Structure 1
Amino acid sequence: MTTQPEWITVGALADGFAPEAFILPNLADLAGRTFTLHFANGWQIEHRFGAEQLDWTLLDGSASGEATYRATSVREGLYLVDFLKEEDGRSVSVSLVLDIAHAAFTAVIGQMPSEAECRGDLFSKALSGRELTCVKAEFLHGSLDHPYQEDCCPHAPTRELVGLRNLYRYSPSEVYEHIYLNENFYSWQCLKGVEQGLADTDRCHTYKIAEELYLFVWREKIIPTLGVVLIDLRNHRSDGKICGYAGGDFGQLSNFPVSSHCSVLNRTEYPL
């Protein structure tokens, strides 16, 4: 009789990933630089980068703040910047893909659900037409340091990952498999590590950033989890973060970096 694998919190997942993790360095390339992000929706937000902190200010004067950030790069001229900010008393996840070469960006704004929002079984959610996951993610695009114009951001939704079966080694002890089913869902399983034996199919979003480079975001439904990674199929690397509640009390967030050595296991071509 097999043992039932146990679901763990995001805080416990972070602890499992930490030893000997294949983390990309936190770069200081942006220190001393300022970018004004011109969003397609009309927002204009200035970001001033220090060595570890960034300051952000809405140019209409309605809001400002500061945060500790992480900046990494899997391709020259491209940076993934990640930080948490406080909004209406709740922590909001912000991940920015800064495409310096094209003077463009994509922002992923994520929010963890409250305990009340997580109540209710999956069957009831399905019958009422709601999403099964309570984790929210919003995707915004725009231009860097010049007014937004239509089509100035080349990042676009893509199906290019569909059919791929990929292997991700995050550390010597943590290995996962992803199967990209369609533009809305992917399946994952832990082959080795603290979640070994666990598997699920979750909501996902994929944007093509450059040739063989993809922004991949997933939102889990069992344990509220947001994942944001850049997948570089050319250089066989991925980098990003996983965010969720550290414990089971819907209190403190765990927002930890994840990087992997990745490889394509196979591609399924559907005879449709």
Structure 2
Amino acid sequence: MSAAANWISVGDLGQGFATDSNTLPPCHDFSGKSLELLFEDGSSWNANIDLDGNQQIINLPNGLRTNVRVTSLCEGVYFVDYITDNQAVSLVADMVSGRALQLQGKLPAREEASVVLQERAAAGLALTTVSVVFRNARIDGGGHGFGFPRTKELLGKHVRYRYSPTEVYEHLYLNETFYTWHCLKGVEAGLADTDLCHYFKLRDNLYLFVWQEKVVPTLGVVLLDLARGKTDGKIFGKADFVDGEFSNFKIGAFVEAINSSQPLMT
């Protein structure tokens, strides 16, 4: 295999993941209802979700309407995901604790994505050109805390993700800011890299894992339930590397914790 010739676009990755994927079905618990958040900075946000045929539509505070995906990995925990204003927005809400976290991800323009890694390193910039903003929130009318805490509990773990019969990856959670991924089987077979990441604890054995890839600008957002061995989430990027339309496709996997070691950096 020539590794230099096997990087693929997010659009092609989405096509590879689409067949017989282990994704969750849509959840309609919010259909016809409003969802209101209070952010840690004192601002608020509210939206309502309608069902139009088989597609859910979110009505945003700025008046925009767009398609939305809503799923529930476990009872009381919801993942809400959509694209608006050239960014991807994901919301994780725990209706039991009343805590929520909203994240907004943006992809680079071609000019920024074309800056070589050495120049970004010399300038003291992150190697990835994908940006993400986290906003701690609580659900209006419930809960006392904002957002979810960052966690070190995944550090040192080696986890296998089976997204479909044809797509299998492994993750090594190295430290608080980096992890390594490796495609064992699938359209990226043999490829691997180490990328920037974030870990949040939602409940015992339930985590939010977010990563920002640098070679092909990509944002990944995954809820990881280690107790049940299941995930749900999405991958966001440009369909044709850094040009063209957005690709924001759903992902889900059956996961297996292969082993765990004490990380060198905690």
Q: Does TM-score exceed 0.5, indicating one fold?
A: yes
Runs (4 or more) in structure 1 with deviation over 4 Å come to none
Instruction: Tell me the amino acid that sits aligned with residue 59 of structure 2.
Output: D
Counterpart Cα distance in 2 of 1:192 and 1:242: 18
Residue 145 (1) aligns with residue 140 (2): yes
**SS state at 1:227 partner:** strand
Q: 1:174 aligns with which of 167, 176, 187?
A: 167
* 1:60 equivalent in structure 2: none
Secondary structure at the counterpart of residue 126 of structure 1: helix
Q: Which residue is equivalent to 2:102? A: 107
SS in 1 for 2:7: coil
Which residue in 1 is equivalent to 2:117?
Answer: 122
CA separation in 2, counterparts of 1:146 and 1:235? Answer: 30
SS at match of 2:111: helix
Q: Distance in 2 between matches of 1:140 and 1:270?
A: 28
1:251 Cα deviation from its structure 2 partner? 2.1
SS at 1:125's partner residue? Answer: helix
What amino acid is aligned across from residue 262 of structure 2 in structure 1?
Answer: E
Determine what percentage of the aligned residue pairs are the same residue: 40
1:248-267 residue CA offsets vs partner (Å, 9 max, x unmatched): 45220000000000010000
The answer as to whether partners of 2:174 and 2:263 remain within 8 angstroms in 1 is no
Out of 187, 199, 204, the position equivalent to 2:197 is: 204
1:236 aligns with 2:229: yes
Q: CA–CA distance in 2 between the matches of 1:156 and 1:249?
A: 32
- Which residue number corresponds to residue 36 of structure 2? 36
Question: Is the Cα–Cα contact under 8 Å of residues 217 and 241 in structure 2 kept in the other structure?
Answer: no
Checking the alignment, whether the CA contact within 8 Å between 1:102 and 1:153 is kept in structure 2 is: no
Structure 2 spans left out of the alignment, 5+ residues: none
- 1:27-81 deviation per Cα after TM superposition (whole angstroms, max 9, x unaligned): 1111011121111122211110112101121xxxxx3322111111111001000
Asked if residue 54 in structure 1 is aligned to residue 58 in structure 2, the reply is yes
- Could you tell me whether the CA contact under 8 Å between 1:38 and 1:146 is conserved in 2? no
SS at match of 1:124: helix
Structure-2 separation of matches of 1:181 and 1:68: 35
1:247 paired to 2:240? yes
Contact (CA 8 Å) 2:92, 2:102: kept in 1 or not? yes
Distance 2:263 2:13 in 1: 34
Task: Say which is worse superposed, 65-74 or 161-170, in terms of deviation.
Answer: 65-74
Cα 1:185–1:37 change in 2 (3 A) is: same
Alignment partners' CA distance in 2, 1:142 and 1:18: 32
2:66 corresponding residue in structure 1: 67
Give the residue type in structure 2 aligned to 1:159: K
**1:98 and 2:93 are equivalent in the alignment:** yes
Shift of residue 154, structure 1, vs aligned partner: 5.5
C-alpha deviations, 1:125-166, integer Å up to 9, x for none? 11110000000001111111249x9x6136100010000000
Equivalence for 1:222: 215
> With structure 2 as the length reference, what TM-score do the two structures score?
0.94
Once residues 130 and 219 of structure 2 are traced to their aligned partners in structure 1, the CA distance between those partners, rounded to angstroms, is 7
* Contact 2:38 2:138 (C-alpha < 8 Å) held by counterparts: yes
Judging changes above 3 Å, is the alpha-carbon distance between structure 1 residues 154 and 38 closer, same or farther for their aligned structure 2 residues?
Answer: closer
Identify the residue that residue 77 of structure 2 maps to in structure 1: 78
Superposed CA deviations along residues 204-246 of structure 1, whole A, max 9, x for unmatched, are: 0010011000000000000000000000001000110000000
> Is 1:8 aligned with 2:3?
no
8 A contact 2:77–2:92 mirrored in 1:
yes
Q: Which moved more, 1:157-166 or 1:245-254?
A: 245-254
